[in-house]
Amino acid sequence: MTASNENLFPSFTGKAPPVSSAIHLTKSLRNLSKHAGRTRRGWSAQSSARLAIVFGLAVSGLAGCSTGPSITPVEADAAAPETRRTREVVRPDLPSPPSVAVDAVRPRVDDALGRARMSYAAVVDSLSLPDYLTAPDEAGTDGAQSASDPLGVDQTPTASIRAYGRARDRYRHGQPAEARQLLEEALRLDPHAHQVLRLLGRIYIDMNQSAKGALYLRQAVRIRPDDAWSLYQLGRFAHGQRRWAEAIVTLERALSIEPSDLDIVVTYLSRYLIGQSLLQLGHDTAGIEQLNAYLSMPDRLSRTSRMGRELGFLHRQRGAVWVQIGDAHCRLGEYAAADRHYRLAIDAPTVNRAALHPRQVYLSLRFGEDEAAIDSAIDQLSAGEYSRQTFAPAHYVIEHTGQPERIIQRVRDLYDQSHRSTRLAEALAALLDDDQAVALLVEHVSVRPEDYAVGQTLMDRLMPDRLDQAVQVTLTLIRQRPDEAVTFAEMLIDRVSDRANLREALRVEADRDKGFAAHYLYAQALQRSGLDDGALFAYETAFERNPDFLVAQIGAIEMLLRAGDHEAAQERLASVSDESDPRVKRFRVMVHMRMDQYDAAMVELKPLIDRDPRDISLRELQAEILIAQGNNYQAELALLSILDMAPTYERAYESLLSLYAQLQDQTKSATLMRRMQSSIPNSRFARLRRAAHFIARRQYAQARSLLEALVAEDRDDLEAFRDLAGVLVQMRSWGQVEQLFVQRVEEDPEDETVVSLLLMMYREADQTDQLDPYFQMAQRVLGTMAETYVVLVAQATLHDRAGAADQAIAAYHRALAIADDSRDDAVVEALIRLYLEQDRIDDALALMDEQAERNPDQAGDWWFLKSTIYEQQGQPDMAEQMLVKVLEVDPDNPVANNNLGYSWAEAGRNLELAEAMIDKALAARPDEAAYLDSKGWVLYKLGRFAQAVDWLKRAAARPTGRRDPLLHDHLGDALWRNGDRAQAKAIWQLAVAYSDKHKLAGSPEAREYLLKVHTAAKAKLSSAATNQPPEVAPIGPMKDAEHDASSAAPPDVK
């Protein structure tokens, strides 16, 4: 060992680690016993017994110098007289359970095992010291000031001493900012004042500026190396920064100082932090020793201080520590000891049993106790909530015992005994093959249609290969429970990727069935595809088939609202027969809100709340209305009333925190956060919020610790997983980000959420220095996965954003080559965009033709896109042909009608037909500025200038038309033709102004379009200014001659 280590840990010098360990443990225990009287009621008999056992073992270790493993306090409690038979490992190569992290229980080998078996003394001897422990401040007195002269009165200026005294008084009276200013003044007078440095460090730590506080504490420790409190804070800070070795040696140095000024609470916290740091470094034996020392804490230790409360919180989580110790014993191959600690964890009040059960199954299988493993797996299914984590042990047992029939029968018996429990239905289905699972779930849902979760599981089993059967099941559910039709429709539609195929199947079913359920389901499919007109008709048909089918009528009302026809929606709502139905009243509130009629909405809502004041959903609606009205105070009261009724209701906390963030009220946010941590401290939402709080303050180490715990508890918690990956990105820990994703892929190679998360985070990367390393990392992760359609699309997307067009095109091609008929339109559109950017026009057009042939139902969409491309390429004839084809399959398409009508008007052809087509577009979208402009322009071409001016003014008044340069150019021409020359020039000036940004336009097409308008409008103004007839747009072929005279010699040119 180094000389510095000998000075730091004199009790560990020598050649008999067990003796030195016993000496040090004896000192620690004497220190603990010295503090025992500080508690209000003393130690419990059990704790005293534990202390006696440990103290006796330490002394006996001194006498005998035994080199064998010693019994820890918890093991002394756990070890009853050995009456059970010796358990032998019969499955030495058993892999870790799927719901447990891969390395959590896997036995260590070779060098890793040697490192894991190192004693605590050996570990400490092997670690180097941080510089603040090896280089005392030369300005100090022999490296430290006299204990009787803590401020160095003989050397310290009087002004510095006085400033320190005032600062300490301010700090004690809750004025840290004033105290900090005084301390900084004292430090300027004497840069080596130890107590000033220490108090400054403490204040910065209290202000959540730990990094700055640590700087001052390091200086304090250089001056006084025996400052135990500062050493503890530095060790704690190093632990938070994941500097595990530094944390261990610094905390051990704090504990080794005699006499120590550390509070007994800090002693236990230090053992906990040292134990956790040791486990992180792979020193399992040493970590077990330290965590057992922490667990020997007296049950009634006083916890009135902040650190005491922290220790109390940790003590309530001791079950998790027992699990950690059990895992460490597993890694050491000490399975009997692991089993004892897992058994201790079972009785802990806050242990995560969903994480503990798989470990017990693992040990039972290792010992060949298959029946016990089966019992543990079944216990978890009967007690836990359904998730992949709860039924994974059952799959694991089946895989390694080869007894699927026994386990399935046990689960089936449990299912029958529970009177068809929803949770157990899903668990049993997960163990069966597809045919058996579908039969079970269909039977369950037919008996209990209210079990929506089971219905969702059924749809997952049926999709995508059994679409027809899924449709029939959904129709049956809607017929049985029409009031829940929305939920049933969502179960089906949300799980279908090929919406076009689903719409066609439902259309055929609606034509064949003629019942309300089929028409309603068809309406839902149309609505979710954005085909609102067809959805409205289908909803109305469903309502005609069943006049009592209120859900269909509400669907029709929603379509009217989306179309902006608020009056029709209100009229339809007034026709509902059962106005007393709460759903109708609730929807009437929603209609008023959509129309921004918040006062009317509140009038409708108040009787509902009076009738059922404890209805939380109504209170939420009330708060939403109040926020929209700007009445934030009353909204806050409404949300707080929800928490008074339901203190654990997470959405109320979420809404309140959002409101306080909007108001920038950090005080109320902090108060609410404290209330949330008190009411639901261990809830997922509360811990996520704490993590978000740390992230916002850039305290990434604390956020990382919370998120790692959430991910370890539930591997399916995608939000926690995403936030953890994001924190690692912010910390630039690219290797650990990659490891996080790769581990998830290893656990489930078919988990495509990994791909989604990678892409989402790449799109959200907002710092240039993150993009390239993230791109490289994401490509390596995707390289570990099979080349599925989703993975190839992800690789193409990454290349696309990185600007590697050729690689992106190649990856998209490989993806489409292995895709089935349900290839994603978004992928095809991305490939078309890349073709166009590369000027590969023919390739883009050919791909559109291929898509139109593959999906005839969507052919019109692709033909319309082709018309746009032909227009951009200066091929108006081809563009017109495509629009005609669109209208052949979709005669009412408003965009195609408008575009073709405008194209004919611009060319002066087929003007009467063009006007009729534009009128059809306006019937669908009467307020669309582009359609109003088309109407005015075709009237202009027909020579009806007064009418043209009216329509063009309406277009210019719309929000999207107010700054449209071409629309104003049209309006100026119409005004000039209509004889209003002064106003025409004013409008042309606006056209010039609005098109003046042509140099800043993003695309070449946009620049060319704006430049053309800009040039034409300026030329007209120039001509008008010199009494020359401006070159306004020509009118239709049959009308030009009639207006040549007025155009050639305009009167009253101003």
* Ramachandran angles phi, psi of 457, nearest 5°: -60, -40
**Angstrom distance (rounded) from CA 944 to CA 941:** 8
- pLDDT for position 74: 43
Q: Is the link from the previous residue into 259 a cis peptide, with omega within 30 of 0?
A: yes
- Digit-coded pLDDT (tens) for 355-371: 788 888 888 888 888 88
* Ramachandran angles phi, psi of 460, nearest 5°: -60, -35
Residue holding tokens 């829940």? 484
Question: What count of other Cβ atoms lies within 10 Å of the Cβ of residue 900?
Answer: 26
Radius of gyration of the chain from its Cα atoms, rounded to whole angstroms: 38
**Angstrom distance (rounded) from CA 587 to CA 558:** 9
The whole-model pTM stands at: 0.47
Q: CATH topology for 891-1048?
A: 1.25.40
List Cβ<8 Å contacts ≥24 apart for 479-483. Answer: 479/515, 479/517, 480/449, 481/449, 481/450, 482/516, 482/517, 482/546, 482/548, 482/549, 482/551, 483/550, 483/551
Residues ≥6 apart with Cβ < 8 Å to 923:
none
DSSP 926: T
Domain 682-786 sits in CATH 1.25.40.10 = yes
Low-confidence ranges of the chain (pLDDT < 70): 1-87, 135-156, 259-262, 299-315, 382-391, 450, 452, 577-583, 764-770, 820-823, 997-1003, 1005, 1037-1054
**Angstrom distance (rounded) from CA 778 to CA 794:** 9
**Angstrom distance (rounded) from CA 386 to CA 404:** 19
**Among 1016, 1031, 1028, residue whose Cα is nearest residue 1053:** 1028
Enumerate the domain spans of the chain. 1-86+108-136+225-332, 150-223, 338-431, 444-577, 593-680, 682-786, 788-838, 891-1048
512 Cα distance to chain centroid: 44
Q: What does CATH list as the number for 338-431? A: 1.25.40
Domains 593-680 and 891-1048 are alike in CATH topology: yes
- pLDDT for position 768: 56
Q: Name the CATH superfamily, with its identifier, for domain 593-680.
A: Tetratricopeptide repeat domain (1.25.40.10)
**Contact between residue 758 and residue 777 where contact means Cβ atoms under 8 Å apart:** no
Quick one: tokens of 18? 């067990």
Q: CATH topology for 444-577?
A: 1.25.40
Q: What does CATH list as the number for 150-223? A: 1.25.40.10
- pLDDT for position 24: 41
**Contact between residue 442 and residue 406 where contact means Cβ atoms under 8 Å apart:** no
The per-residue DSSP string of 191-257 comes to TT-HHHHHHHHHHHHHTT-HHHHHHHHHHHHHH-TT-HHHHHHHHHHHHHTT-HHHHHHHHHHHHH-
Question: What count of other Cβ atoms lies within 10 Å of the Cβ of residue 386?
Answer: 20
**Contact between residue 762 and residue 778 where contact means Cβ atoms under 8 Å apart:** yes
Residues ≥6 apart with Cβ < 8 Å to 762:
771, 774, 775, 778, 797, 798, 801
- pLDDT for position 305: 55
Half-sphere exposure of 168 (CA within 13 A, CB side): 11
**Angstrom distance (rounded) from CA 136 to CA 145:** 11
